[in-house]
Structure 1
Amino acid sequence: MSVKSTTVNTVLGPVPAGDLGVVSVHEALLSVFPGAEHAFDVTIDRAEIFETLAAKLKDFRAHGGGTIVDSTGMFHGRDVRLYESLSRTTGVHIVASTGQGPEELLGGYFLTPQTDPPTPWPAEKFAGLFTAEVTEGMVVPRVERRGPAGLVATAVSAGGMTATDESLLRGAARTALNTGVALSVRHGSDAVHDLGIALDEKLPAGRVVVAGLDRADAVAAGAPAEIARRGAYVALDHVGVDDGTHIGDAERAALAAELVRAGFRDRILLSGNATGVAKGHTGNDLPYSYVLTIFVPLLEAQGLSEADTRRILVGNPRDLLSVR
């Protein structure tokens, strides 16, 4: 069912939700491993980065794409002014995110504030940090604030939720509840448990997307269907990745079809977790157009109709990203 709200927060400001077109919900544009921007052997040439990203976004648009969501959060290379220029140049809507996580990727400031003994930031402090990025604009460090974040994204440690992870998730959920943007949580060892933490903050399940549900362990545990049954969105967001940790595309397409047949068509989201430009780490050099060019035919081979795929690629992300 479509939501009543008509706008989505993009880096160029609110746009009508109906203008998004095909949306790739979990991607990275410029991804910088925290600290790499200070490394002597890492070059960050913004003109070169712009040209690389512009080419990839134009390819996405040429194959029918309309909107890219950069779901990397605050301190992993997000460059709002660069994204504004890219959106104007390519015609692709860009939704940027606030949020942080998991604990291992936080800077020390967020791990050991001035308390004795050091304690994790409380959820309300993370909520204040993230909420300001939605209501006042995303921070360009030490310079200014720009456009509003369109998503709050966090992640739980793969080995299981830590105390800091829980503070992050609760703070992110409070931000979503207070601002009307959606919450994306990349689950740790137990996706259903992690969703439960967000729901404990009184955030409606329909405002949550659980990321990484094409991980092999999550699929084996039946998490995708259970997450959908609880009313949250199921992100199969490593399309094109077959690394042993995640299921391959054939199994991924079969899983999507199974969810559709079970009545969960309105809960499925697709993405490639592609990295446009990676610095300080090895990115996933997959075209943003991969879902459209390679994966959609696999869905069709599983019996999904054009209406099914359009709902998954257009309607579901539109409803998720619409500010309520």
Structure 2
Amino acid sequence: MTVPTPAVAGRAAVRTVQGDLAPEALGVCDAHDHLFLRSPRLPGQELTDPEAAAAELAAFRAAGGGAVIQWTPHGMGRGAEELPRLARDSGVRLVVATGLHQAVHYAPEVLARVGTDPAGLFVAELTEGIGDTGVRAGMIKVAGGFHGVDAHARWTMAAAAEAHHATGAVVGVHLEAGTAAEDVVELLCDEHGVPPRRVILGHLNRFPDPGMLRRAARTGAFLAFDGPSRAHHATDWRLPDALRALADAGHGAQLLLGGDTTTAAARSVNGGPGMPHLLRRQRHWLAEVLGPELVTRMLTVNPARAFAAVWPSEGGGRRTADG
């Protein structure tokens, strides 16, 4: 069993479900995945079984994994009450998200319970804990739409920006089919003042247009390529060249890798690729093209920087610095 390395007060830390962690102790990190997930869009494929989650973490750990960032946001069955035990038993550091996904992933009454102050909810989950679990979130997850941002996305992103300014937490964005990266940066960064280095643009593997990727990289945001647990046949084969081009252009420090296991059938313990595939197979395939040093950086140094924040002190007021 691995004991987390505690963070030093006043310094950047990764907020895990077991407490704040020195960033350098994060280890090999799956920067976007799911142990628990429930959505009306995925009937019959919910991730709700704690023992299946434990088995998946054990397989990930056996493949060399050290940390998993769970992007499941508020109201989608995050399993916050289960995560500390799973982290402790597996030796894998776990980070849980606050935030809100697209409206289609919620029953109307769930969004109604959020009320008129989603930012207040996000801040409370980041600083006080999720419900009565005592588990604090370590990132904010929101979502764009297909080639745009709708009214729900604008509402949630405004709240995410407010919560970022209050806490320093990074904002991870689900880009629908990898699109609307520039719209998201304009909204979060230009309109709401979130520093680009505190934004993660997710699912860029799904829309690997070279020009779009260059423009997204030039903003300074982190770029997440996070989908080997899912089938994206039209774009998967483009991933090595896309990453190579970004690294050659000087953006190697912005690149993140994740698995994005969203259904029970996709778990490795059920015969799918699951979390271990990122390390058992994809890491080695990418290393053949990119070299092992860059791939190791994408799995260790980059996520440690992306998810670390200088968190407000206990009982502290609103932050003004971005951390």
TM-score (norm 1): 0.83
| Alpha-carbon contact 2:30-2:67 (below 8 Å) kept | yes
SS in 2 for 1:69: strand
Partner of 1:178: 166
Deviation for aligned residue 1:284: 10
Q: State the distance in 2 between where 1:93 and 1:33 align.
A: 25
Partner of 2:218: 229
| Alpha-carbon contact 1:210-1:235 (below 8 Å) kept | yes
Aligned-pair identity in percent equals: 26
Counterpart code for 1:198: L
Deviation for aligned residue 1:256: 0.9
| Alpha-carbon contact 1:138-1:146 (below 8 Å) kept | yes
SS in 2 for 1:26: strand
Partner of 1:214: 205
The one of 227, 232, 253 equivalent to 1:243 is 232
Q: Paired residues, what number?
A: 295
Asked if 1:320 is matched to 2:272, the reply is no
Deviation for aligned residue 1:131: 0.8
SS in 2 for 1:264: helix
The one of 288, 293, 296 equivalent to 2:275 is 288
Q: State the distance in 1 between where 2:16 and 2:35 align.
A: 14
Q: Could you say what the CA RMSD is over the residues aligned between the two structures, in angstroms?
A: 2.8
Deviation for aligned residue 1:86: 0.6
Counterpart code for 1:137: G
Q: State the distance in 2 between where 1:201 and 1:265 align.
A: 26
- 1:1-324 equivalences under 5 Å are 5-34=11-40, 49-109=49-109, 125-139=117-131, 144-158=132-146, 160-188=148-176, 189-199=179-189, 200-216=191-207, 219-220=208-209, 222-244=211-233, 247-248=235-236, 250-275=237-262, 277=264, 285-302=272-289, 304-324=290-310
SS in 2 for 1:312: helix
Counterpart code for 1:299: L
Higher strand share: 1
Partner of 2:321: none
Q: For residues 159 and 89 of structure 1, do their structure 2 counterparts lie closer, same or farther at Cα, with a shift above 3 Å needed?
A: same
SS in 2 for 1:270: strand
Q: For residues 265 and 293 of structure 1, do their structure 2 counterparts lie closer, same or farther at Cα, with a shift above 3 Å needed?
A: same
| Alpha-carbon contact 1:274-1:287 (below 8 Å) kept | yes
Unmatched segments (≥5 aa) in structure 1: 114-119
Counterpart code for 2:73: G
TM-score (norm 2): 0.83
> 1:137-193: per-residue Cα shift (whole Å, max 9, x none)?
112xxxx14221001001123363211210101111221221111100112442111
Unmatched segments (≥5 aa) in structure 2: 1-9, 311-323
